[in-house]
Chain A
Amino acid sequence: MSQDPHGHGHHELTFWERYVFSVDHKVIGLQYLITSFCFLLIGFGLMMLMRWQLAFPGTSVPFFGHLFPQDLAPNGVMTGAFYNSLGAMHGTIMIFLGVVPLGVGAYGNYVLPLQIGAPDMAFPRMNMMSYWLYLPGGIMMLSSFLMPGGAAQSGWTSYPPLSIINPGQTIWLLSMVVLITSSLLGAINFLVTTINMRAPGLTWFRLPLFVWAQFVTAILLLFAFPVLEGGALLQLLDRVIQTSFYLPAGLVISGVQMTRGGGGSVLLYQHLFWFLAHPEVYVLILPAMGVVAEIIANNTRKPVFGYKTVVSSIIFLGVLSFVVWAHHMFLSGMKTSLARIFMTTTMIISIPSVAILSCLVFSLWGSSIRFSVPMMFALAFLPLFGIGGLTGLPLGLLPTDIYLHDTYYVIGHFHYVVVTGTLIALMGGIYHWFPKMFGRRMNDFWGKVHFWGTAITMNGIFFPMFIQGLAGVQRRMYDFNAQAHNIGTTVAPAIGKMSLSELQWFCAVGLLIFQIPFLINIFYSLFKGQKTEENPWHATTLEWDCPSPPPHGNFTHDLNVVRGPYEYSVPGAKTDWSPQSEGAR
């Protein structure tokens, strides 16, 4: 099983078969990695434009302002409609084209089959198809900027009736359907691979936590995404052939009464959407938790505290994430009795999250920590994700949510979860698995520069959002300085007279600058990095039991898994790591 019989004696692969339309999970993983990085940078660029508008409203965007068409940005000053498209596309790109493909598509594809000792995914050709739906779906999404009417303007949530009236939404919906199909194919593949392709002896409770996280993530994608697909289909019909699934009778838009039959409900869409989008939150965070668990176990040189607690918490999170969705809709019009139910489930779901985080923190206790670059990212994840998670509690409680709903506090909360949580962890994952992917290590010094710069500037962007939000600044405002121009001018006297939004702008510029050493480090290390052997981190899990980079078919010897994933510093063992597989080499 570990030795793929048809790994050898293949006909010579052409360039196209090897690098473009490859069915090898490692190549597909790297394709996802590169593509999602490009989308992350694009999404980041959109955010820079928005931050400029928020920091210096009504002024011409430097460098790029005059490149935009006059109707989007007359004299380089962006219009409100353009700002709305940037916001909608930033959210969509970051979530559906950036972070999820990075966490699931890239790491899941590359690492999961290696960690379970499989020669490839269960359905290699279907795996290729997921990537080749993702890329065109992403390009289609981006192309909407060039379409008549511009890109989607109704936020990443695409609420009707706005989304049915606004231009640009049709392409958004079509590309979402393509992207959802891609994710579904991926999810089926991950589930079957994990269930069916494990190496001999690799029982469920010997699976690394990363595999568990990916497994539950795939279940979430499988069950949640079809619901949005249905919701998007109905919205598409509402837009294209004038049905009224989401439109009430007698809706008046700009003084004109709509002529459709009506009878639909705008809340229906919100329910369908959040039924996907709340599990999606865990799709974003679970792979990151898996990455952090791997890095922490490896760099503390001791087993993860409470392995079974973490596994059951991951499963519990997955199950509960399907029954909390309506806490996003407290202010959309909901019975108090119903709100009470969702408040309760929301408070309950915080328990497994806290359990996972606590186990990861307890793992540090009493260990001699190896402060490698991936470990620094993993350590930063713990408090920063903690802030993201804890600031979510007031949003899950109806009384406080009434005040905080749709303010910058919400934006701060989920950016702490997704950016300083997930993205920090996934960046650490690059440093951790880079030696496996390319057989070379990344530079430590520039890794540390990247880490400190990134961690500090990210906080500089997102922490002020809590202050702004508590002061009542609304999200999605084109010119929020009408509300908030003076917030922060006295808060931060040490750095001179500066509003918080100006501080955020400078931090965003800093964040961009600190990604430069990261990118240079990747490209430099690809060719000139220090060469490594199979297992440079002295890790236990199976992915370190094959050559770096792994050949086609992955493992060059038979695997025989005899122990759990994190057997570090076992008393009496020859080394301070005991690999999962023992047997003939």
Chain B
Amino acid sequence: MSHAATAPTTSTGIPNGKLGMWVFLASEIMLFGALISSYVVLSMGSPNFGRPDTALLGKPLATVNTFVLITSSLTMVMALASIQRNRVKAMLGWLSATSLLGLAFLGIKAFEYHHKISEGITITSSLFGSFYFTLTGLHGVHMLGGLIFNAYIAIKAMRGTYNAEHHERVEYAALYWHFVDLVWVILFPLFYLV
């Protein structure tokens, strides 16, 4: 897969890496799906789920954070569009914007964690707390993975690896980034709005 440019054409015409990324994301859906459905089942069925008062959850901040993340998806789309037009500098700019927004999301999340812990909502305080920290934590780890992927793409781009014809990995990074966003778009209403 290091010779993606010279790789022979595949049976389906789709590059191996892209197919692999989609297949990987399918398994990720099952991982998050299992945990999210566990959360849903227990939140409906458990005799003491310990859901805190909505006022304690900090809904406004989480809403802002959701917007930050959705914006980062937009900038990621712009990064891919730029490289498709062979504009490497523009792509680097949009990619950095994506990563900065991702970091901002994690920063706000860290502040939220701090706030919640000071309110007495911890990973062991109640089932809600356990699920909240486990799921958002797992999502945060995936965000970190995305940031590392973006940094890798940025370094490669600065060395001039990508151009309009050959930029498969930028697309893979974008796919992954959008997926991680999408997970948050599901987690946000589950934890804050329902």
Interfacial residues, chain A to chain B (CB-CB below 8 A): 1, 5-6, 122-125, 184, 187-189, 191-192, 195-198, 202, 222-227, 229-231, 233-234, 237, 241-245, 249, 260-265, 268, 272, 275
A192 CA to B19 CA, complexed, in Å: 6
Closest to A224 in B: B30
A234 CA to B46 CA, complexed, in Å: 16
Minimal beta-carbon separation of A335 from chain B (angstroms): 13
Interface centre among B9, B127, B131, B138 (most CB of A within 10 A): B127
In contact, B31 and A226 (Cβ under 8 angstroms) = yes
Minimal beta-carbon separation of A417 from chain B (angstroms): 25
Give chain B's interface secondary structure class.
helix
Provided the pairs A192-B16, A272-B34 are in contact, do residues A184 and B1 lie with their beta carbons within 8 angstroms? no
One of B6, B20, B35, B130 near A122 (C-beta < 8 A): B20
Number of A-B residue pairs with CB-CB distance less than 8 Å in the complex they form = 125
In contact, A227 and B31 (Cβ under 8 angstroms) = yes
Stretch of B37-45, B57-65, B71-79, B142-150 lying at the A interface: B37-45
Closest to A218 in B: B23
Q: How many residues of B contact A (CB 8 A)?
A: 41
In contact, B23 and A192 (Cβ under 8 angstroms) = yes
In contact, A263 and B16 (Cβ under 8 angstroms) = no
In contact, A263 and B124 (Cβ under 8 angstroms) = no
A261 CA to B48 CA, complexed, in Å: 8
B28 within 8 A of A: yes
> Across the interface, which residues of A come within 8 angstroms of B49, CB to CB?
263
B11 within 8 A of A: yes
Minimal beta-carbon separation of A254 from chain B (angstroms): 22
In contact, B20 and A123 (Cβ under 8 angstroms) = yes
Provided the pairs A192-B20, A233-B134, A263-B47 are in contact, do residues A222 and B26 lie with their beta carbons within 8 angstroms? yes
In contact, A188 and B20 (Cβ under 8 angstroms) = yes
In contact, A243 and B130 (Cβ under 8 angstroms) = yes
Minimal beta-carbon separation of A163 from chain B (angstroms): 17
A124 CA to B127 CA, complexed, in Å: 42
A245 CA to B41 CA, complexed, in Å: 12
Interfacial residues, chain B to chain A (CB-CB below 8 A): 1, 3, 6, 8-12, 14, 16, 19-20, 23-24, 26-28, 30-35, 38, 41-42, 45-50, 123-127, 130-131, 134, 138
In contact, A195 and B34 (Cβ under 8 angstroms) = no
> Across the interface, which residues of B come within 8 angstroms of A264, CB to CB?
42, 46, 127
One of B27, B123, B131 near A188 (C-beta < 8 A): B27
Minimal beta-carbon separation of B8 from chain A (angstroms): 5
One of A188, A245, A265 near B45 (C-beta < 8 A): A265
A234 CA to B10 CA, complexed, in Å: 40
Minimal beta-carbon separation of B125 from chain A (angstroms): 7
In contact, A196 and B11 (Cβ under 8 angstroms) = yes
Q: A184-B27, A230-B34 are in contact. List 7 more A-B contacts (CB 8 A).
A: A5-B6, A195-B19, A222-B23, A223-B30, A243-B123, A261-B48, A262-B48
Closest to A200 in B: B11
25 inter-chain pairs at a CB distance below 8 angstroms, sorted by A residue, are A1-B9, A122-B1, A123-B20, A125-B1, A187-B23, A188-B27, A189-B20, A195-B11, A197-B11, A197-B16, A223-B30, A234-B35, A234-B134, A237-B134, A241-B123, A244-B130, A245-B38, A261-B125, A263-B46, A263-B47, A263-B48, A265-B41, A265-B42, A265-B46, A275-B34
> Across the interface, which residues of A come within 8 angstroms of B35, CB to CB?
230, 233-234
One of B19, B20, B27, B42 near A263 (C-beta < 8 A): B42
> Across the interface, which residues of B come within 8 angstroms of A225, CB to CB?
27
> Across the interface, which residues of A come within 8 angstroms of B127, CB to CB?
243-245, 261, 263-264
